[in-house]
Amino acid sequence: MTSNPDAPSTDKEPANPPRQSTIDLLASLPGAGEDSDFARDVEPSLPGRKRRWLIALTASILALLALVWFCSGAKAPNAIEASTVIPDAVAKLAIRLEPNHPYLAEYRRFILIRNEEAEIARLELSLDSGGFARTQLYRQPDGRIIIQGYLDAALLDPARVNLKHEFDVDTSGATYLGAFDKDRNGDWKFMSSEESPEQQLLPGGG
């Protein structure tokens, strides 16, 4: 059987040849065989690139936060304490301020009663949210000590070394002894009535 040269060819090229992926095209280049460094490095680098970008972004954010912290000059406050001798007793009364915030001047306030050997009693007062740490001492005619703050108070019986938390204590008729407060240098200390005259302690400021 002879073929007709004028007959149309039955071998047709596909209208839309399959498209090769970018990786296949790159891998088909000279020097990009399966065992080449190029072939080993191209595919794994794609998901790793996103991971490295996230790591770099996180590191940048942390560095920025550290810079803001450093430039602000903020630092965590330390616990501070001052004490005075309780009248007619061998024990000392201290007011201790412990930080309640990483860098803001907010303090937890504690009354501590100590003798020469150990701590005898402890009582927590209301939180000082800023500027309300001043604590005034009074002595009642019966010998009990009033420890008066802005929001609350305490009664101390020196004979029994007993502390009682109060919110409203009448200081009329009691003798003002002095106050725990910061002096002109910013040092927390106990100051006598001559050094720090009595103030009216109000929640909105005193």
Instruction: Dump pLDDT digits (tens) for 144-174.
Output: 999 999 999 999 998 888 899 998 889 999 9
Give the span between the Cα atoms of 108 and 204, in whole angstroms. 18
Asked if the model's pLDDT at residue 53 lies above 60, the reply is: yes
Asked if the model's pLDDT at residue 108 lies above 60, the reply is: yes
Task: Name which residue leads in pLDDT, 139 or 103.
Answer: 139
Number of domains, the chain: 2
Choose among 112, 85, 84, 86: nearest CA to 98.
Answer: 112
For residue 125, what are the domain limits? 80-192
- 115 and 151 fall within a common domain: yes
Choose among 195, 203, 202: nearest CA to 82.
Answer: 195
Last residue of one domain, picked from the residues 72, 88, 103: 72
- 111 and 136 fall within a common domain: yes
Give, as one character, the DSSP assignment of residue 21. P
Does residue 198 fall inside a structural domain?
A: no
Residues ≥6 apart with Cβ < 8 Å to 32: 26, 38, 39
Asked if the model's pLDDT at residue 204 lies above 70, the reply is: no
- 102 and 175 fall within a common domain: yes
> What is the reported pLDDT for 206?
44
Beta bridge mates, 92: 85, 114
> What is the reported pLDDT for 22?
54
- 94 and 163 fall within a common domain: yes
- 105 and 134 fall within a common domain: yes
The arrangement of strands across the sheet holding 119-124 comes to 80-85, 92-99, 107-114, 119-124
Give the span between the Cα atoms of 10 and 200, in whole angstroms. 109
Q: In the structure, what pLDDT confidence band is assigned to residue 16 with cuts at 50, 70 and 90?
A: low
pTM of structure: 0.61
- 42 and 91 fall within a common domain: no
Choose among 104, 186, 97, 203: nearest CA to 148.
Answer: 203
Residue 16: C-alpha distances to residues 12, 20, 44, 77, 91 (Å): 12, 12, 30, 73, 98
- 91 and 186 fall within a common domain: yes
> What is the reported pLDDT for 121?
93
Asked if the model's pLDDT at residue 34 lies above 90, the reply is: no
- Burial call 83-107: b when 16+ CB within 10 Å, e when fewer: bbebeebebbbbbbbebeeeeeebb
- 105 and 171 fall within a common domain: yes
The greatest distance separating any two alpha carbons of the chain, rounded to the nearest whole angstrom, comes to: 139
Does residue 54 fall inside a structural domain?
A: yes
